[in-house]
Amino acid sequence: MMKLALLAALASTSTAFLAPTTPLVAPNVRPSTQVYAEAEEAAAEDAPAPRTAEEISALTSSVKTIFSLEDINKILPHRYPFLLVDKVVEYEMGKRAVGIKSVTLNEPHFTGHFPDKPIMPGVLQVEAMAQLAGIICLQMEGVEPGTIFFFAGVDGVKWKKPVVPGDTLVMEVEVKKFNKRFGIATATGRAYVDGEMAVELSEMKFALAK
């Protein structure tokens, strides 16, 4: 009898460890699939509506061209493939300018820099800002037509992110000093892609000569 009672007790307690025939769901807890579906639906509602080409193009409608590429050709001596300013959109004579460089895969340096991962060389980013500064310097009062400016030095260059084909490099330079007697100028510069800084420099120097 004791053996039978012991077996019965073991059988009754073992059922506590058996998996239930129906899943146990806590009250007020939704199945995970429902949670995911609701999250995806909320994300879809928050996602911005697709924009047309006209709407995207209109984002720059307030940006006006001050100097076109044809105008720049009359100021700078550089030519393809070394002319690195496509247009100027802000200009304060003798002080400051904002210029645009549209980066495309057609530029020859991308053939080797690098074949499988094209990146605009950092030195060309600095050169582009120097050319933008040249547009200011070569139009300074007292500078004679035909004057050429030479890169004399650069300090404090910091690259923040790669610049690649398809990017629009928006550059800003400000002339800090200009010695007309000796033809020496200093300027600062920075450039952005999609609102993020790509490169900045604390000072670049130029020498102007005939």
What is the rounded distance in angstroms from the CA atom of residue 207 to the CA atom of residue 205? 7
Q: Would you call 100 helix, strand, or coil by DSSP?
A: strand
CB burial of residue 42 (10 Å; 0-12, 13-18, 19+)? exposed
Phi–psi pair at 122, nearest 5 degrees: -60, -35
The two structure tokens encoding residue 170? 């928006």
The two structure tokens encoding residue 195? 């609102």
What is the rounded distance in angstroms from the CA atom of residue 205 to the CA atom of residue 190? 15
Of 96, 109, 113, 205, which one is the catalytic site residue?
Answer: 113
In the residue annotation, 113 being an active-site residue is answered as yes
The two structure tokens encoding residue 63? 């940006």
* Residue 114 one-letter amino acid: F
Maximum alpha-carbon separation in the chain: 122
Q: Would you call 72 helix, strand, or coil by DSSP?
A: helix
CB burial of residue 185 (10 Å; 0-12, 13-18, 19+)? buried
Give the active site residues.
113
